[in-house]
Chains A and B, each alone.
Chain A
Amino acid sequence: MVKISSFDDWIQYFREWQNDIGYDPTLLGNYNFETKLGDLHSAEIEFGDFKGQRKWERVGQIPNQSIRDALMNLIIYQGDTEFASVEQQRNLLDTTPTEYDRQALVRVNSEEMRHGWQMCYLLVNYFGDSGKLEARKLLERRAFRGDRLLGSFNAPVNNWLDFFTYTEFVDRDGKYQLTMLSHSAFAPLAESVTAMLKEEFFHMFTGHTGLTRILRAGKIPVAIVQKYFNKWLSTAYDLFGTDHSSSANWAYVWGLKGRFDEDEAKIPAEKDKLNDLARNHYIVECAKLIDQLNALVPQGQPKLYAPDLKFNRSIGEHVGKTYSVTGELLSADAYKKHVTQVLPTAEDEQLLSEIIKSKDWVAQMQIKS
């Protein structure tokens, strides 16, 4: 078993992880993995029971072990998503539609690796032996084995429609999580995610422009695009956590994770609805993006939409329920059939792979390599 005693040990293990998942580091060119710190919103704790106190610079300043454990858990979950996304996307380099897309994918992957690196830097340098152990475990779970911590990050990303939809909607959840953590009482975390947030926007941009280019090209049936929306949005809803979450409540009370609009919020937080609040912001934002995309859907074709919040949920009050993509409760048999009609199937993937061979499935760009 690998022992992580220092961040240098972890870096060596990170190189082994790249090798193990089959990611050729030469693809990253001269990308420099480094820790980056942004500015704090405030030097003082912004909300919760410790509001007004100076933000904690060291774990030893945190008042009790429960808070330290909750903080470490937030960092672990964030880091897990970063490495997982690279694992999910590692095979796409073989099918890049253009040189621009290859460069964009490499940038996304390198920044996701750096974000995971940043979270492990915090774990190794601030959280003692348990942090070092968790930093090691972040490199040992695998998306393609299905043992990453959150469902979205175990789902397959098999093609570029997957990728564009994923970066549009799953990375957008990342924006929300990072924004909420950017208000954290633990200064090194807040500074870390502020820098990560800057980079996250290019990932969402890649998704939105990719979907735009697909719709402009008009080769992939809109009904298939909708199935990928159903796949990724339904799982992205889960990423905000359960309704009435006690861990979200405590993370707020302890000042570890704020509201998405903590800067602007004028009313006290409804602490038992924090996840719902963030998810609702997200849903409104996605609706605006889908409206933009619908302007490119030809007349006479069905418009794109976000699946109902109750559809295909893996956590929360609707888990295991048989709600349709439009929110109707179906019988078990009807639901079984419905799922094959509204989520991507092997036949859809086969059709996509045929369409993608043609090269004109996505608006093309000729750029220098």
Chain B
Amino acid sequence: MRVCLVCQNIDCKSRGSEQLMKEFQKRVAARGLTDVEVKPYMCFGACQEGPNIVLYPEKNWYAAVKVEDLDEITDHLAGGPHVQRLDTIDSALKELIYQLLDTGIL
């Protein structure tokens, strides 16, 4: 199963991450992507650039995501291109968080 983690900590929630996650779940379901689960995630430590969506295990991180970006991200999940303009997080932070995700601890 592939997962799309949508951060739900305080700052990202104030930027609409809860609504974003619900909308994303609808679009993934509408596209029939049955191998993808859209789930909440506590935080990725990049709240100022949130809401953040991390695709795992692919390890793609999209920052400052808006509802209008979701179709492109859904396309990516369905085999379409990477959404380069939303890939803005610095690589060192990505690596640290991916390592955290690899442990499955949180």
Which A residues contact B (CB, under 8 angstroms)? 100, 103-104, 107, 197-198, 200-202, 204-206, 208-209, 212-213, 285, 288-289, 292, 363-368
| Contact A363 B45, beta carbon cutoff 8 Å | no
- State the CA gap A368–B44 with chains docked (Å): 19
14 cross-chain CB contacts under 8 A: A107-B92, A107-B93, A107-B96, A200-B48, A201-B48, A202-B45, A202-B93, A208-B43, A213-B106, A285-B10, A364-B105, A365-B100, A366-B103, A367-B103
| Contact B11 A201, beta carbon cutoff 8 Å | yes
| Selected contact of B43 from candidates A197, A209, A213, A367, CB within 8 Å | A209
| Contact A289 B10, beta carbon cutoff 8 Å | yes
Residue of chain A at shortest CB distance from B96: A103
Q: Which residues of B contact A212 (CB under 8 A)?
A: 42, 106
| Contact A368 B46, beta carbon cutoff 8 Å | no
- State the CA gap A198–B103 with chains docked (Å): 25
The reply to whether the CB of B91 lies closer than 8 angstroms to some CB of chain A is no
Q: Which residues of A contact B93 (CB under 8 A)?
A: 107, 202
| Selected contact of A205 from candidates B43, B49, B99, CB within 8 Å | B43
| Contact A201 B10, beta carbon cutoff 8 Å | no
| Selected contact of B105 from candidates A197, A201, A365, CB within 8 Å | A365
Known contacts A198-B48, A201-B46, A206-B45, A100 near B99 by CB under 8 Å: yes
The reply to whether the CB of B47 lies closer than 8 angstroms to some CB of chain A is yes
Interface size range on B against A: 20 to 34
| Contact B43 A198, beta carbon cutoff 8 Å | no
- State the CA gap A213–B102 with chains docked (Å): 15
| Contact A365 B103, beta carbon cutoff 8 Å | yes
| Selected contact of B99 from candidates A201, A292, A368, CB within 8 Å | A368
Q: Which residues of B contact A107 (CB under 8 A)?
A: 92-93, 96
Q: Which residues of B contact A209 (CB under 8 A)?
A: 42-43, 100, 106
CB distance from A245 to the nearest CB of B (A): 26
Known contacts A213-B105, A288-B10, A289-B10, A100 near B48 by CB under 8 Å: no
Main secondary structure, interface of B, reads helix
Residue of chain A at shortest CB distance from B92: A107
Residue of chain B at shortest CB distance from A197: B48
Q: Which residues of B contact A364 (CB under 8 A)?
A: 105
Q: Which residues of A contact B48 (CB under 8 A)?
A: 197-198, 200-201
- State the CA gap A211–B9 with chains docked (Å): 15
Residue of chain B at shortest CB distance from A200: B48
- State the CA gap A359–B10 with chains docked (Å): 31
- State the CA gap A193–B22 with chains docked (Å): 33
- State the CA gap A81–B11 with chains docked (Å): 23
Q: Which residues of A contact B44 (CB under 8 A)?
A: 205
| Contact A100 B10, beta carbon cutoff 8 Å | no
| Contact B99 A367, beta carbon cutoff 8 Å | yes
The 7 A-B pairs with the shortest beta carbon distances in the complex, nearest first, are A205-B45, A202-B45, A365-B103, A201-B47, A367-B99, A198-B48, A205-B43
Known contacts A288-B10, A289-B10, A363-B105, A208 near B100 by CB under 8 Å: no
Known contacts A107-B92, A201-B47, A202-B93, A100 near B42 by CB under 8 Å: no
Q: Which residues of A contact B92 (CB under 8 A)?
A: 107
Known contacts A285-B10, A288-B10, A365-B105, A202 near B100 by CB under 8 Å: no
Q: Which residues of A contact B46 (CB under 8 A)?
A: 198, 201-202
Q: Which residues of B contact A100 (CB under 8 A)?
A: 96, 99-100, 103
CB distance from B73 to the nearest CB of A (A): 22
User: B33-61, CB under 8 A of A: which get 1 and which 0?
Assistant: 00000000011111111000000000000
Residue of chain A at shortest CB distance from B48: A198
Residue of chain B at shortest CB distance from A288: B10
| Selected contact of A208 from candidates B42, B49, B103, B105, CB within 8 Å | B42
Q: Which residues of B contact A206 (CB under 8 A)?
A: 45
Max count, chain B CB within 10 A of own CB: residue among A204, A288, A368: A204
- State the CA gap A207–B72 with chains docked (Å): 34
Q: Which residues of A contact B49 (CB under 8 A)?
A: 198
Q: Which residues of A contact B103 (CB under 8 A)?
A: 100, 365-367
- State the CA gap A289–B105 with chains docked (Å): 19
Residue of chain A at shortest CB distance from B13: A288
- State the CA gap A206–B9 with chains docked (Å): 13
Q: Which residues of A contact B43 (CB under 8 A)?
A: 205, 208-209
Residue of chain B at shortest CB distance from A201: B47
